Structure 1
Amino acid sequence: MAPRYKEIADDLRRRIEAGEWVPGATLPGYAELTSMYSVGRGVISTALTELETAGLISVAKRRGITVRERGVRRRVRRGSLVMRDPARGYVMPAASSPTEPWQVHGTPRRETVPITDRAAELLGVPPGTPTLRRRRVTSPTGEPPFQLVDTWIHERGVADAPQVAERDTGPGGYLDRLEEAGHGPLTWTEYTRARMPSPEEARHLEMSDAMPIVEFARVAVSALTGTAIETTICVIPSDRVEIVASLRRARGAQWPRTTS
C-alpha cells in the first residue's frame, strides 16, 4: 500500500491533469487540504513537495499553491559548431532554432555585482569580486520563462572594451567588441551539469526550488591573455529540456564487420 502522502499527491495530480485546476489557478490552502484528506500538515507538505518537484505546482507564501504553466519540453542538440550571422554576430549552440520567435521577460539588466562562486570559478577570479553581469530571462513567444542567462565579463574585458557595459553593444554584440579590443580570436569551452537552483534563479524562472535545473556554462578564452575573459551561464528548469546527441561509429565499430 502506498504511503498516504503518495496517495494524496497522486489524487491532486489526477485532478490537475483532468482540468479541475487549470494553469495559473490556486489550489486549496494547507488548512483546507488537511481537512479534505483528514491528515496532518506534514503529510500535505510532503505531497505538495512531490508535485513541486514534478513541476506541476508552485508553492509560495504570498501566491499560495498554484498550478504551473506547462511549457513544452524542448530537445536541445548541443553541437560544437559556432556559426556567424551577418546581422547578429556569433551564433552559439542554443535551445532554439534561429528562426523561432523568442521573447524577453522583464527588462534585461546590466550591472556590476559580486560574482557568484560558479561564475568566479569559470572566470578565474575570487568569489564575490565586483564584476559586470548582463542578465536576461527569455522563452519562446507565449511561453513561461524558459531560461535565465547571465553573462559575466572580466574587468580586463570591460577596461579594454567599455561598450560591453552599455545597453547597446553595437553590431555583433559584446563578443565582437572583445575581439576588436585585442582579445580575438576567442575560443570557447562549454560545461553542462545538473544542480539545484538558487532561490533567486527559481524566482526568475517561476519554478520550484525543489526541482533541479540544467546549467550550460560557456567560457570564452582571450587570445591576448590566454585566460577567461567572459563566461555565460544559462540555466533551464529540468522539466523543460532534454539533451540530445547523435552517436557515430568509430572505424573499428563499422558494419559489416571485417575479419583480420
Structure 2
Amino acid sequence: MARWHEIAHELRAAIAGGEVAPGDVLPRETDLQERYRTSRTTVRQAVAALEKEGLVEKVRRRGTVVRRPPTRRRIPRSRRVHRDAIGYYFDTAAQGWRPLEPPAVGRAPAPADVARALDLAPAAEVVTRSRVMGDPDSGDVTQLATSYLAPTAVDALPVLAEPDTGPGGIYDRMEDAGYGPLRWEEAVSARMPSPDEARRLGLPPGVPVLRITRITRGADGRALEVNDTRVSAERFEVVNEIDRDPTAAPENPEAPSGAPVRPAGGARADR
C-alpha cells in the first residue's frame, strides 16, 4: 500500500470513529508531514483522496475541515423480511447470494452513526462480523456487509462473537434467548467507497456505493445490532412496490383496469 493510502486510511478512520468531529480542522500540512515523517506531496495526496470521498473540504482562512453532513430527511417506505431454510433475508434478489469467504469476526471502534444507534460513546469498541457476499458459482462479489453488535447482546450471548453462530445465524440466537420478536428499521444513503471497498466490489473511479444501514431491535426497543451493507450504486438500485392507502382509493371503482383516475380538485397525482 502506498504511503499516502496509509495516511488517508488513518485519517478516514479517525473521522468515521468520531475522533475528529464534523467542523474540526485537520492538522496543517507541515504538522502531518512531521507526524507521518513524509513529504508534502504524500500528505497532499492523502488529503485529496479524503476530499474526493466527500469527507473533508477546503475552507478559506481555516484549512481542511471535516465536512458536516447535512441533516438527512427520512422518507419512510414499507419493507418486508423473508425467511428460508438458511435464515432471514431482506431482499428477494439477494436470496441466492452466499458468503464467498468465512466471516471475519473481530473488534473495532464503531463508526459515529453506528455508535449513536447503539447508544454507545463515540468510537466505543464493539464486536464486528464482516462478510463478503456474492454469486457462489461465478465468485462475483455483490455486497459487503458488516454487523456491529451491542456489547450487552454479546455479553449475554457469547456465541455472537463466534465465526459460526449455528443454524439461522445471529437473529435466531437472539430470538432463542428471548430478545424477540425482533424488528428492523432501515435507511439507504450513498457515499464514495473506501479504496478497499472499491477493490472488492470492482468499482471504477467515481462510482459511489449505496449504503443500506439496518438496525435490529429487540421486543423492548433496544438496538441489538447495526448492519452496514454496501453495494455498487452503478449495479444496483433500491426499488419499492407502492400499495394504495385507503385514502388513495379510486373515485370510480367500476372504471376499467388501467383507466386514468382524476384526483379530486384537479391536484397533481404525482406529487
Common topology (TM > 0.5): yes
Q: Is structure 2 residue 83 aligned with structure 1 residue 84?
A: yes
> Aligned residue for 2:104?
109
Question: Structure 1 length as normaliser, TM-score?
Answer: 0.60
> Aligned residue for 2:256?
none
> Structure 2 matches for 1:62-141, cutoff 5 A?
80-85=79-84, 87-89=85-87, 91-94=88-91, 96=93, 98=95, 100=96, 102-140=97-135, 141=137
Q: Is structure 2 residue 265 aligned with structure 1 residue 247?
A: no
**What is the alpha-carbon distance in structure 1 between the residues aligned to residue 264 and residue 224 of structure 2?**
51
Q: Is structure 2 residue 145 aligned with structure 1 residue 149?
A: yes
Q: How far off its partner does 1:209 sit?
A: 5.8
Q: How far off its partner does 1:122 sit?
A: 2.5
**What is the alpha-carbon distance in structure 1 between the residues aligned to residue 231 and residue 143 of structure 2?**
5
Q: How far off its partner does 1:202 sit?
A: 2.3
Alpha-carbon displacement from aligned partner over 1:231-259 (angstroms, at most 9, x marks no partner): 11111010110222222334444153698
Q: SS where residue 239 of structure 1 aligns?
A: coil
> Aligned residue for 1:178?
174
The letter for the 2-side match of 1:213 is: V
Q: How far off its partner does 1:213 sit?
A: 0.8
Q: Is structure 2 residue 209 aligned with structure 1 residue 213?
A: yes
**What is the alpha-carbon distance in structure 2 between the residues aligned to residue 213 and residue 151 of structure 1?**
17
**What is the alpha-carbon distance in structure 2 between the residues aligned to residue 195 and residue 158 of structure 1?**
30
Alignment gaps of 5+ in structure 1: 1-77
- For the 8 Å contact 2:100–2:139, the answer to whether it is kept is no
Q: How far off its partner does 1:127 sit?
A: 2.9
- For the 8 Å contact 2:81–2:91, the answer to whether it is kept is no
Distance of aligned partners of 1:250 and 1:229 in 2 relative to their CA distance in 1, 3 Å threshold: closer
More strand by proportion, 1 or 2? 1
Across the two proteins, how many residue pairs are aligned to each other?
179
**What is the alpha-carbon distance in structure 1 between the residues aligned to residue 246 and residue 123 of structure 2?**
48
> Aligned residue for 2:56?
none
Q: SS where residue 196 of structure 2 aligns?
A: helix
Determine which structure has greater relative contact order: mean sequence separation of CA pairs < 8 Å that are 6+ residues apart, divided by chain length: 1
Alignment gaps of 5+ in structure 2: 1-76, 253-260, 266-271
Question: Structure 2 length as normaliser, TM-score?
Answer: 0.58
> Aligned residue for 1:24?
none
The letter for the 2-side match of 1:130 is: E
Q: Is structure 2 residue 134 aligned with structure 1 residue 160?
A: no
- For the 8 Å contact 1:160–1:178, the answer to whether it is kept is no
